[in-house]
Structure 1
Amino acid sequence: MTEQEVRRYLRQMKEEDSERAFHGFYNLTYDRLFRIAYYYLKREEWAQEVVLDVFMKLWEMRDRLLAVDNIEDYCFVMVKNASLNYLEKEERRPDADGGEAVDMEAGMGCSPEEEMIGEELFARYVKALDRLPERCREVFIRVREEKQSYAQVAEELGISVKTVDAQLQKAVKRLMVALEG
């Protein structure tokens, strides 16, 4: 995601009330915001719900978004807060289906400083992941986050297993460099 592209979409959303620009903004930012929500919620359906709610809020406040200095960080904070609020709501909700209780131990046992460092590191990881070449990022996400096998990824993407391995190694190296700095 480039700042210029985002600013262009935000300007069109404000000046033209453009739903097309909003769709462009959505397509450009959805994956990153989903990964942030999933990091906190650990459930795909909850993460989708939270991100869609955030996008609704962004559309409603489209007239004020151009004034935001760093829209990337602003959206990150919105998704983080919405995710934490969602977890809190789910924790208070009686367990109607008799299923598992919500796991709130993700942030427990850490000092606020440790938690903040972890969140900053995660934000850097998400930014670095977005800067990977498209194929490289897709292979990394499928293998490391979605836990697909090399063979499965190769078949779905129409590439060889060796290419999957090479793309994954490339992604890991680039992410390590980005996270070290």
Structure 2
Amino acid sequence: MRMAKGDERAYKQVFDRYWNKIYQVALGFLKGPEQAREVVHLVFIRLWEKRANVAAVDDFDAWLFIMARNTILNFLQQKARSPDNTAISQDVVPDDLLTPSALLEYKETLSIIQEAIQTLPPQQARIFQLSRNGGLTYAEIAAELDIAPATVKSHIIRALNTIREYVRKHGGHSMAVVWVLAEIIL
């Protein structure tokens, strides 16, 4: 709400919290770190431009995900159309792409991810939840469960692979999966 009123410190907090998540998603779809950084900067420029709209947003994470997704897609389209691969549209995210159907897509994929987590073996699910919900590092999880950090890492990798496969088989949307899993990992 403070950001919506123009508070630059609040904007900086949002920037610090979400920059790496958006960067990881962008990096997964773009060819290199420079392009990913460029897209992230475009997302945050657009966020500042649309800050007044944030007050009316019910689910900021989903809204920002949609903005990031659309920015990445727009960037890829612009790059494909540009012979020298340097032109980028000033209007990065058209308002009509931030639609209820895109929000529904995100929420449906989130639901499928929750179903996938329920299919994990108990120890793997517990480790995954400690990482996701508890925000614990591999070392902290290892200490809590009295296992090796390498074992924690192995469980997380297997859990992520299982979740990705489950979502793929059950019709989840890849951009939402990348966003949610980046949020879990980071």
CA contact (8 A) 1:30 1:51 kept: yes
Question: After the TM superposition, which residues 34-49 of structure 1 pair with which residues of structure 2 at under 5 Å, given as runs?
Answer: 34-49=23-38
Report how far residue 120 of structure 1 moved: 4.0
Over 3 Å counting, the alpha-carbon distance change for 1:130 and 1:42 in structure 2 is farther
Q: Is 1:166 the equivalent of 2:151?
A: yes
Over 3 Å counting, the alpha-carbon distance change for 1:175 and 1:133 in structure 2 is farther
Residue among 4, 13, 24 paired with 2:3: 13
Amino acid at match of 1:172: I
CA contact (8 A) 1:38 1:47 kept: yes
When the two structures are superposed, what TM-score results if normalisation uses the length of structure 1? 0.53
Structure 1 segments unaligned to the other structure (5+ residues): 1-10, 97-115, 138-161
Q: Is 1:72 the equivalent of 2:22?
A: no
Report how far residue 58 of structure 1 moved: 0.7
Question: After the TM superposition, which residues 129-144 of structure 1 pair with which residues of structure 2 at under 5 Å, given as runs?
Answer: 131=133, 133=135, 135-136=137-138
Q: Is 1:50 the equivalent of 2:39?
A: yes
Q: Is 1:31 the equivalent of 2:20?
A: yes
Over 3 Å counting, the alpha-carbon distance change for 1:169 and 1:176 in structure 2 is same
Report how far residue 131 of structure 1 moved: 4.7
Amino acid at match of 1:52: H
Amino acid at match of 1:13: M
Q: Is 1:90 the equivalent of 2:75?
A: no
Q: CA RMSD in A?
A: 3.6
CA distance in 1: counterparts of 2:138 and 2:37, whole angstroms = 24
Aligned length, in residue pairs = 122
User: In percent, how many aligned pairs have the same letter?
Assistant: 27
Report how far residue 135 of structure 1 moved: 2.7
CA deviation string 1:74-109 (max 9, x = no partner): 11111111111111111122258xxxxxxxxxxxxx
SS of alignment partner, residue 64 of structure 1: helix
Structure 2 segments unaligned to the other structure (5+ residues): 86-104, 115-127, 140-147, 168-186
When the two structures are superposed, what TM-score results if normalisation uses the length of structure 2? 0.52
